[in-house]
Structures are given as C-alpha cells and as structure tokens.
Structure 1
C-alpha cells in the first residue's frame, strides 16, 4: 500500500500504451479488435499473477501476427486455430512442468534473430499501405505499380508518429526528467488521436475513406459472450490441427527465454535457468485460457524500465482492470 500511487500511475501508463497495441495487433491479424483486448486482459490478470518475472508485461505481440495469419489460413478457420492454441498452451504447460526451458540454449541466436528480422520485414511491408492511407484491400504491389490512392492526412500522422518515436529516444528528451518517464509510443498514440479528433471536426471528408478500428457495443453479458468464438473441439484428432498447435503459442517463446530482461542479467546463472523454465507454465496457462475463450496467443516481454519505482503485481492488476473496464 505504500507504493499505491506509483503503482496506479504506472498501471495507467501501461494500459494507455497496451490498449491501442492490442487493437492494432488484432486488426493486423485479420481478427476483430475485441479479440486483442481480451488477449490483453488474460495476459495481465492471469499470466502476470503466475509469472515469476518482476517486470514482465504479458499480452499479444506484433511478432506473432505473421504466425497467426499463416496458421488461420492453413487451418481454414479461426475456431480451428483456437483448438491449435489450446494444444499449444497445453504443450507449454507440460514443458514448464518438465523444466524444458534449459534446452533453449541449444537454439542458435542467429536463428532467433533471423526469425525476428523476417517477421519485422513482413510487418513493415504490411503497414506501409496503412501509413500511406490506402484502402484495406490495397497491397504493397499495388503501390509499386501505381494503382493505389494516398491520403496526405494519413501520411502526416504516420510521419509525425515516427518523428515522435525518434525524438523520444534521443538524448534531448532523456535529459529532461519530467519527460523521460513518459513512453514514446504513448505520445505517438495521443498525437494520432488528437489529430483524428481535430480532423473529424474540421475536415471529416479526409477521414471518410481511411480504415478505422471500431469496437462493438455490448448491451449485456450475454451479448459479450455471444461475440466470443469457441474452439472446434471436434477437430482435436485432425493431424493438421495438432501439428499447428506448436506454432501459435511457441513462435515467440525462444526469444523470450533466450534473452532475459536487463533486470535479470545481473542474477546468478542458476537463477536465470530457473526463470527460463518457470516462464513456460504461466504462458501455457494463458494460451490455454486464450484458446478456450477465443483470444489470441499470449507472449511476454520484460520491461524493467517500467518497474524501477513500483511493484509488478499492483501495476499489472491496475492495467488489466482498466482494460476490462474500457471493454
């Protein structure tokens, strides 16, 4: 209770950054935005409560977008993907019980970095049409051929967001104590929101053709539950479904296990090995629950800079409850 004020402030900051991130990842995966919010709630309330990491922030990750899209396309439907996610969560939970995290040292670092670089390139290619204000069905090939239309307002917002991210990482901002604790992505998101509100009042025709993220309005708990998709339980014997179960939850697991956060690097080697193993079970439970409830795969990243002045559990609880209230 002595750090409640700091914990509440940190939780609100993480919530403000995580909210558009969850929406954007779900949108990029071709899923309803509400699925991304549900994933963030499960990651914050369930995985965080079980995780031994002091600074882990759990939820959907941009690095899993390509894996999710490819898995849904190969399996044929989102319900089959949820069944694969349930199996992936069960495998992660089993590996955690068997303490299989120690074997991650057998995976070369070049393989992990190459996988992440390839995913990053695909994500950049996917978001270029969005940054240029093209229609949703427009691809990068159409832009190269000159068959796409651009929006100056979208380009201005995208350029402003990139400029803010670059500026917030520069020594100029780091020297200002009153601005150093504010995350750069939060300022970029606020810039986009303020610009959208102003343009809605001043020039609504400029925003009419741009893709927007909309959330459904639920009148009751039954309406909310009706929007959730259930796994295809009858397909558990499908070999393709069983084979796909190793991808959704474990696609980003090697990087998370092989590269501990900065706060954990100072610990003893034995403790790091134990933490690597202990990370499997909480994420396995989270992915298992995500598959049952109709959410996305959950991963976690260590954010020690967010925890230098507060305790992890209170911060994550405030973040998750804020996300749940927003829904």
Structure 2
C-alpha cells in the first residue's frame, strides 16, 4: 500500500494506491497529515482496503491527469540532518560528525515530486540532494531507546533537499537554514510508504541525475547515523510531532563537491530511492515582482 495526494496545490485529494487501483480516502480523512497519522490512519486505510469499502478515484472529467502533490500535507516542521554520509562530509571539506548536525527548512518549501524547482534571483550555486525522508507518526519526546524511536515512525518518503550554497555557507551567519528555505526547495514524493512495508530504512539504493547524467549513487546503509538513531537523538532535545518530516542526509555527488556544475534554468533533476519512487523536477527562474 502507498499513500498519495493528488490534485492542484491546496486542493489535493488523499488516496491509497495498491495493485488493484487508486482509492479515494476522503470518506476516512480530509488529508494525509499529522492528525490522520496520530489517529491510526494507516491501520484504518488497510482495514478499508481489505473490506473493499473505498471508492475508486474517478478520473477528471476532462481526461487530464491529476497533479501529484507531496504525499504528506504541509508538516509542522522539516528537520534536516547534515553531513550524514562520510563521503559527503569529506567532499564538503569537513570531518564526519560525532553527533547529528541539525538544521531546519521552512515547511512551505515542501512541494510535489514533479513541480518546478524555482531558482532564486541571481543564484549560481543551487544544488541537489537526494535524501530518505522520515515521517513521524506519534509524539516523540525523550525516547529511551532506538526501538522506541522506530515505533514513532509512520513511514518514509523520497525527498530532494535543494540548497543554495552561497546563502548556506558564505552568507549564512553560521546558520544553514538561510540557504535551505527558498520556495520549492523540498520536493517530496511521489509516495508515502508505511514503515512496516519498508523496514527500518536500511539497504535502500538512492540516486540522483541532472540532465540524465548520474550525480549520486549510494545506499542508506552508508548513513553515519541511521534512521532509528536520528529519531532517538532528536527526541532528546526537541519534541517531534505526528506529521513532522525529517530529511536524513545526502550522499556524495552534489555540486558543492566542485566535480559538477550547479543548477541552471532549464536543467532537469531526477532523484530516486528504491521502493519510494522517483521525482523529475525542471529548474525554472523564479519570477520577481517589479
């Protein structure tokens, strides 16, 4: 079972997708959000699928395909883990960290997996970062163990932690979020996959391509701090709420390495994680009011 949100921005329809079709969830929930997850929404969807009580999603009357939105509604927090693959830390000019490096993105950076990435005015250092995203399903506060942390995870998504490096590094004032929170800088999706269908997030191949050329090719087994450890450690200094999104870090092969050019208008960015689908985003120049 996979969960999706389909439709125009702000008007997405929650659906479940399985081998038999696409099923309308509006009889169960208004959206795929923190409230849905906290209210045992995944179990309720499975029971409805088993009972064959969900209506099939009708195709649009005009025959056009529905836009694929982010599979979770705008989260209350987007928490990111930096330099969480040793090779990426080295290509960034840093030693692998001994504790999780944490920064935040504004929740309104979250867009759909096929939406455009808008290049900030004047930017020449906008970068791609394929990442495994973790979605919290229950409140996580001072968790006692890794096992308890796993129980707080609702599922996983594919994310692209788009970054503007000049703002992140040279103009940061020591805080990375300045280079991370431009509009459209966190494409998510196409699917939300429940944790029990994907395990603990280990052993997943993740890749990125720009204009068809491979940039990143790695595996979540190479995470310095794995999914359970990330959630466990985060809970020791912040309260995680249902629906929160955690970006777990990116492997080597980004523009910051100096091996590849940064993104420019017209570029096509593709990211993929085994079991979580793929994204395809076109880079466009952001329009600025005169």
Q: TM-score, normalised by structure 2?
A: 0.25
Higher relative contact order (CA 8 A, sep 6+): 1
What's the TM-score once normalised by structure 1's chain length? 0.23
- More strand per residue: 2
More helix by share: 1
- The structure with the larger Rg is 1
